Structure 1
Amino acid sequence: MSDTGGDGQALLRVKEVGATSVVCPMVTPTNYTVWSLHMKVVLRIHKAWTVIDQGTDWNNENDYLAMGLLYQEIPESLIMQIGDVESSKAIWDAIKAQHIGVDQVKEAHLQTLSFEFYWLRMNESETINSFSRKLFGISSKSATLGCVIDESKLVKKFLKSLP
């Protein structure tokens, strides 16, 4: 592309397009939030986010591009669950519904464990080993769900719960 400078000579403006590689993460049962943020960026890079974010003009070519990018990065089992959808927006919503539901179940389990931890008390007939197994069992389940209970909190709970 060339422009003419003030002295009549041609000025060249060169737009270099290098080989760019965008790596997309695979969605898993535990990485939806990070995956969705990453995919939004990738879809925007490829000018395909407009078909998921309906606030902009819809373009069928972009929809197919977005669908192709999404299908590359979801496991076959999820593709089979989604079925033969007609738009990338439908794929996105199906993935979101599946993974947000998992997050809600996880949060419910954490609330239940928190309730158990709060109300846990050692019975007079219970051994210290038995009680400590219950206490650390709750702690272990909570850590598995992503919420680590501080050691100091466990020690305080243990001491306050003794008969």
Structure 2
Amino acid sequence: MTSEGSGFAQPSIPKFDGHYDHWAMLMENFLRSKEYWDLVEMGISKRTEDKESGEKQKKVIDKELEEERKAIDGLKLKDLKVKNYLFQAIDMPIMETILDKDSSKSIWDSMKQKYQGTTKVKRAQLQELRREFELLQMLEGEKVDEYFAQTLTIANKMKIHGEKIGQVMIVEKILRTMTQRFNYVVCSIEESNDLDKMTIDEL
């Protein structure tokens, strides 16, 4: 049964959004599902190409050479398909920097070199923001709206760096770290509300 007639939705090509590690994982899975990942990982066999070239020089045509030539042609066709998938995943400004790459492997390696380092920097920054969020406490004399703003600023920075942080986590963080003079108010809020459904605005 063909994929067109199977009734299953075809997986969409993952768009590169600047988060290299996440995109690379999705794209690798997508290419594996198409049975194309080996081309990206290993490239087209140079050994086979070199052997074919040597045989041509000797002007020896045999069955083995013909099979290898067909295999190379088949791999090159598959590689064009993989390049097409990668081009569809990448926006024009990035694509312009990789148009000179002649294989899917060279495109992949170029993307990895350019963006994995950036991802590592973002990951380090996220770790620091997580630590800052974890250690954050309301100070004596600090106004409630000021503490809310400080907490939300850190949370929003975490989101920008790829952290999935929901409102429930922020609400619980604020309630847990307010100064002792708000203990009665915090207890009252916790007893009279479902914190799993409370928004920051409601708090």
* TM-score when normalising by structure 1: 0.64
Match of 2:38 in 1: 50
- Report the more deviating stretch, 19-28 or 73-82: 19-28
Q: Out of 178, 186, 198, which is 1:158 matched to? A: 178
Distance 1:67 1:157 in 2: 51
After TM superposition, the structure 1 = structure 2 runs for residues 69-80 of structure 1, keeping only pairs within 5 Å, are 69-80=85-96
In the alignment, is the contact (CA less than 8 A) between 2:140 and 2:179 conserved in 1?
no
Deviations 1:5-52 (A, max 9, x none): xxxxxxxxxxx657479543433324613233223323x1xxx43322
Identity across the alignment (%): 23
Bigger CA drift: 107-116 or 139-148? 139-148
Q: In the alignment, does 2:57 pair up with 1:37?
A: no
Query: Which structure is higher in RCO with an 8 Å CA cutoff and minimum separation 6?
Result: 2
**Unaligned stretches of 5+ in structure 1?**
1-15
1:146 lines up with 2:163 in the alignment: yes
**Using a 3 Å threshold, how does the CA distance of structure 1 residues 114 and 65 change in structure 2: closer, same or farther?**
closer
**Which letter maps to 2:107?**
I
Is residue 27–residue 35 contact of structure 1 (8 Å, CA) maintained in 2? Answer: no
Q: Which amino acid aligns with 2:29?
A: L
- Counting only pairs closer than 5 Å after superposition, residues 121-136 of structure 1 correspond to structure 2 as 121-124=137-140, 126-136=142-152
Separation in 1 of the partners of 2:32 and 2:118? 20
1:67 pairs with one of 68, 83, 90: 83
Normalised to the residue count of structure 2, the TM-score between the two structures is: 0.54
| Aligned pairs, number | 142
Once the two structures are superposed, residues 129-148 of structure 1 have per-residue CA deviations (whole angstroms, 9 ceiling, x without a partner) of: 22232122222322443231
Question: 1:66-97 CA deviation, whole Å, 9 max, x = no partner?
Answer: 22332233222222122401221011122334
Q: Which has the higher helix share?
A: 2
Q: 1:38 to 1:17 in 2, by over 3 A?
A: closer
